[in-house]
Each structure stands twice: as structure tokens, then as C-alpha cells.
């Protein structure tokens, strides 16, 4: 990694309904609003990151095939994956892929946000333990 980079800590998403997405990311994943310059743009954080929620431009239709495969949220411990999977399920969100442990010791599951964006919730030893 280039010595000036701190890592990927910002993602911006275009969504159909800003408030539905903000509610989802805040209630399901515990993020909080960092800045809301207007109703069409809201910036969320979980502490050391920034997730920008932008209203999809009028007349735009999301593509059936995304070039974005998924976004990921990191947790500190493998058991945190199971705890958050239960929380996601309690919010009525279906898992796309169930919780599983990978051969490298990582543990994760996948689910979708209100716009169908795929999210991976992940314990990944090299970065989970770096905090």
C-alpha cells in the first residue's frame, strides 16, 4: 500500500429512497448520521468510515447487472458475525448467503439493503484485528 493511503473508508451509493436507506443502515447496522446537507444527500458513519447516501438522479434506472459486486462491513470478532446475523434477521432482512467460516479463518454472511445492494458482514483476521 502507498504510504500516504489510510485505506478504503468511504463509499457513495445512489439509492431510490434516501430515507429508507438511512433508516436501514442506522437501524440494522447501527450507523449514525454524520451530515445531512439536504434531503437528497446523507452521510453516515460507524466511527472510522463514511457511507454517502445519494438520491438516484431523476429518470435514472438502476441496471439489472451491477458493476459493484458488494460492499463490506468489518467486525472485530468471529462471534460478532453471528450476533449481527441474528440482528439482521430480527429486522426481517433475509440472508442471501448464510453465516459460514472460510478456509482462511474469515467468517461472514451476505444480505441486501433496500435497493438490493449486496452487503457482506465480515470478520477478516488481517483487518479485523488491526483496530
Q: 75 and 48, same structural domain?
A: no
Q: 87 and 50, same structural domain?
A: no
Q: 32 and 54, same structural domain?
A: yes
Q: 73 and 125, same structural domain?
A: yes
For residue 31, is it within any domain? yes
CB-CB contact of 74 with 123 (8 Å): yes
pTM over 0.85: yes
For residue 22, is it within any domain? yes
> How many H helices and E strands in the chain?
3, 8
Q: 78 and 43, same structural domain?
A: no
What is the residue range of 39's domain?
6-58
Measure Cα distances from 25 to 53, 64, 100, 103, 105 in Å.
10, 22, 22, 29, 27
**Rounded-to-integer distance, Cα 120 and Cα 49, Å:** 16
Residue 65 confidence (pLDDT) above 70: no
Q: 54 and 19, same structural domain?
A: yes
Q: How many domains does the chain have?
A: 2
* % of the chain at pLDDT higher than 90: 74
For residue 12, is it within any domain? yes
Decide which of 58, 82, 100 is a domain's last residue.
58
**Rounded-to-integer distance, Cα 94 and Cα 46, Å:** 22
Residue 101 confidence (pLDDT) above 70: yes
Q: 10 and 32, same structural domain?
A: yes
List pLDDT tens digits, range 26-47. Answer: 999 999 999 999 999 999 999 9
Provide the residue count of the chain. Answer: 131
For residue 105, is it within any domain? yes
Pairing of strands 50-55, 41-45: antiparallel
CATH assignment of the domain containing 83: 3.10.180.10
Grid cell in block for residue 91: 429486522
Amino acid at each position: 500500500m502507498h504510504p500516504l493511503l489510510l485505506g478504503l473508508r468511504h463509499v457513495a451509493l445512489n439509492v431510490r429512497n434516501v430515507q429508507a436507506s438511512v433508516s436501514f443502515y442506522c437501524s440494522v447496522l447501527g450507523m449514525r448520521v454524520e451530515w445531512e446537507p439536504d434531503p437528497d444527500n446523507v452521510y453516515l458513519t460507524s466511527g472510522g468510515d463514511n457511507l454517502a447516501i445519494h438520491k438516484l438522479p431523476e429518470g435514472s434506472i438502476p441496471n439489472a447487472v451491477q458493476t459493484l459486486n458488494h460492499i463490506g462491513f468489518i467486525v472485530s470478532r468471529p462471534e460478532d458475525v453471528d450476533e449481527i446475523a441474528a440482528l439482521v434477521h430480527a429486522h426481517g432482512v433475509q440472508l442471501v448467503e448464510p453465516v459460514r467460516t472460510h478456509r482462511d479463518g474469515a467468517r461472514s454472511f451476505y444480505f441486501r439493503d433496500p435497493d438490493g445492494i449486496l452487503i457482506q458482514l465480515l470478520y477478516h483476521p488481517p483487518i479485523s484485528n488491526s483496530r
